[in-house]
Amino acid sequence: MELKNDIRIESWSELCDRVYDNSFQPSLDRFRANFAFRGISDKNYNLESRFARTCKGNVHLEYHLLRNFRKYAGDNHQDALNSDWRTLTIGQHYGLPTRLLDWTYSPFVAIHFATADINKFGCDGVIWKVDFVKAHKVLPSKLKSILEDVGSNSFTIEMLDEVLPTLKDFDTLTGETQALFFEPPSIDSRIVNQFAFFSVMSDPLATFNHWLNNHPDLFTRIIIPKELKWEIRDKLDQANITERLLFPGLDGLAKWLERHYTPKTPI
């Protein structure tokens, strides 16, 4: 499905230009983009959390997932799971179905995820580019004020714990669905290397692109035609934007080698 905010690139150089559109900050006299990027191998996929995909309409299952994750994590992890926000973050990192969505500050990390799966080279990919600073300006004053007080553009877990101690506090903050972005703690090199942060919505079953459609000034979709995926992938690999960097360890090495040595076949 094509959207009004779609830009279909025609070359590698255009892709590099488009991801950096509007990145100059006059107040800083620097190129410091206010964008969150998410790369997806198929442009038709929704921005749907793993919890929503897994648990369908059973919203009550979120409580049980988080409760049991805490219970079975073991005593060594209890201090790290002392808040809903930390439990969500650590659970997401280890593959627990949560309401979080993964984003990155790095456009090239997003391009990696849009072109990493060669089984999806027969369909167009997409880079979602969201102005998270503007997104935070539509938040209730209770949340905006904490960002203004510390002079930050995105939230941290500590900030969320202070203003919204529980997920229920977030979900019942207003009668409308809210969305915000927050940075996870650097619990391992994967989060650091992926320049990662998360979005979260006050409805665990909400689909983020449906919310964005009501705020069209906040986002752009950069469409990567399937015909360009091999070229883009090869250029990223040569720049070392690969699983070797983004998933440090033998599992990342194995994923990179599998793709690197897969012969190119007609699309």
Length of the chain: 267
Does the pLDDT at position 116 exceed 60?
yes
Q: Over 70: is that where the pLDDT of 1 sits? A: no
Assess if residue 15 is contained within a domain. Answer: yes
Contact 50, 102 (CB under 8 A): no
Give yes or no for residue 267 having a pLDDT over 60. no
With respect to residue 141, please indicate whether it lies within any of the assigned structural domains.
Answer: yes
SS3 assignment, position 213: helix
Count up the domains in the chain and report the number: 1
Averaged pLDDT, 142-168: 93
pLDDT value, residue 266:
61
214 in a domain, yes or no? Answer: yes
- Assess if residue 170 is contained within a domain: yes
Q: Which residues contact 177 (CB under 8 A, 6 or more apart)?
A: 201, 202, 203, 206, 211
Percentage of residues in the chain with pLDDT exceeding 90? 81
Measured CA to CA, the distance from residue 175 to residue 158 in angstroms comes to: 25
What's the confidence (pLDDT) of residue 191?
86
- Let me know if residue 176 belongs to a domain: yes
Between the CA of residue 251 and those of 114, 116, 237, what are the distances in Å? 19, 14, 17
Q: Residue 85's domain spans which residues?
A: 6-260
Residue 192 forms part of a structural domain: yes
47 within domain boundaries: yes
pLDDT at 21 (0 to 100): 95
Residue 242 lies in a domain: yes
Model confidence at 92: pLDDT above 70: yes
